[in-house]
Amino acid sequence: MAGIISPSMPVFIIENRAHGNRSYVTMNEGLGKVLRMGAFGPEVIEHLKWMEGTLYPVLKGAIEHAVARGEEPDVKNMIAQALHMGDELHNRNKAGSSLFLRAIAPHMVETCKDSAKLAEVLRFLDKTDHFFLNLAMAAGKASLDAAAGVEGSSMATVMARNGTEFGLQVSGLGDRWFTCQAALPEVLLFPGFTREDTNRDIGDSAIMETYGVGGFALAAAPAIVQFIGGTPKDAVNYTMEMYEITTGENSMFSIPALNFRGTPTGIDVLKVVETGITPVLDTGAAHKEPGLGQVGAGIVRMPMEAFVKAAEAFADRYLGD
């Protein structure tokens, strides 16, 4: 989602082996009162300190050990497997988080000799079903960065929301942002919150849908509707609709229930404007008052205005007379 990265915060480094570029991402804090949803009370800070002082050293040792043995976690492969295990990799990451724990646990016990710390870390990972989301977001970023700057391409390479505005970038249009007001998500609210508590759409997790998973892969994750509302049929319909606005079907990420069809991948801003269909995102909604954290989760449509601006700029640049 959103949140602040301070200089002392540890990050994962994700490497795009094919193109040599890297991306970076913080560790997932879990759900509820967390910094990335705007909470900053003493318990949030205490938890961040635990992540820095305990979780990070254990994971760092394990990952370095795995890398040295040529057994570094293959995030792209884990995403592909998780899509066959009911994750869509945005609001449901239970399988991906399990696969990451399975892969890294042997290296953890081989590098950390403090069994109390190990147990703390394993318990945190066990209860944090969204832990893998951050790794998957960084994998999406590393893939999409390599798709930027392609002359003549109308594919979106970034979508993001900051709680006020929504913005996107297009591969063939350089670093220019196309922006408009962010949507107000109508999510399934956690107990104790009302519609009026909801802030406008926020976060750079929209990289998942830009990458072709998340809301675009909802058909892979029928169980998610217990968390975000709707029916399993709605989930299939969202994915089918996204094929209308994408440039291709993913060769690596497939959806078993759609007879292993590749996920709809690569949002074409021209198709968005032609069809009037805007991308669907799985989202978590933050409280509009600072300090209160997440209020719910659900589906949100990206606003059309930014796509129209991008398509107009694309026409000016490439389709001029």
Which residues are near its own copies by CB under 8 A? 84-86, 94-95, 98-99, 101-103, 105-107, 109-110, 113, 115-116, 118-119, 122-123, 125-126, 222-223, 225-226, 231-233, 256-260
Residue length, the chain?
Answer: 321
Task: Note whether 224 and 283 are within 8 A (CB).
Answer: no
- Nearest approach in angstroms of CB 8 to its own copies is 27
- Taking the least distance from each CB to its own copies, the nearer of 49 and 123 is 123
Q: Which is nearer to its own copies, 125 or 306 (CB)?
A: 125
Compute the least distance from the CB of residue 282 to its own copies, in Å. 16
**Considering beta carbons, is residue 7 or 260 the nearer one to its own copies?**
260
CB of 260 to its own copies, least distance (A): 8
- Of 126 and 316, CB closest to its own copies: 126
Residue 38 has φ and ψ, to the nearest 5°, of: 100, 0
Nearer Cβ to its own copies, position 92 or 141?
92
Rank residues 34 and 108 by Cβ distance to its own copies and give the closer one: 108
Q: How far apart are alpha carbons 206 and 282 in whole angstroms?
A: 8
- Comparing CA positions, the residue from 159, 150, 270, 286 lying closest to residue 214 is 159
Strands 202-203 and 246-255: unpaired
Termini Cα distance of the chain: 42
Instruction: Report the nearest approach of its own copies to the CB of residue 129 (Å).
Output: 10
Collapsed DSSP state (helix, strand, coil) of residue 303: coil
> Residue 127 Cβ, how far from its own copies at the closest point, in Å?
9
Tokens of 122: 């394993």
Give the HSE-up count for residue 234: Cα atoms under 13 Å, Cβ half-sphere: 13
Of 261 and 301, the one with the shorter C-beta distance to its own copies is 261
Q: Which residue has the tokens 């893998």?
A: 132
> What is the nearest approach in angstroms of its own copies to the Cβ of residue 73?
12
CB of 160 vs its own copies, minimal distance in Å: 30
Q: Which residue's CB is nearer to its own copies, number 232 or number 248?
A: 232
Convert 275-307 to b/e letters by CB count within 10 Å (16 or more is b): eebbbbbbbbbbbbeeebbbbbbbbbebbeebb
Name which of 75, 70, 73, 63 is nearest 110 in CA terms: 63
Q: Which residues pair with 260 in a beta bridge?
A: none
Q: How far is the CB of 82 from its own copies (least distance, A)?
A: 9
Find all residues with CB under 8 Å of 190, minimum gap 6, and list them: 294, 295, 296
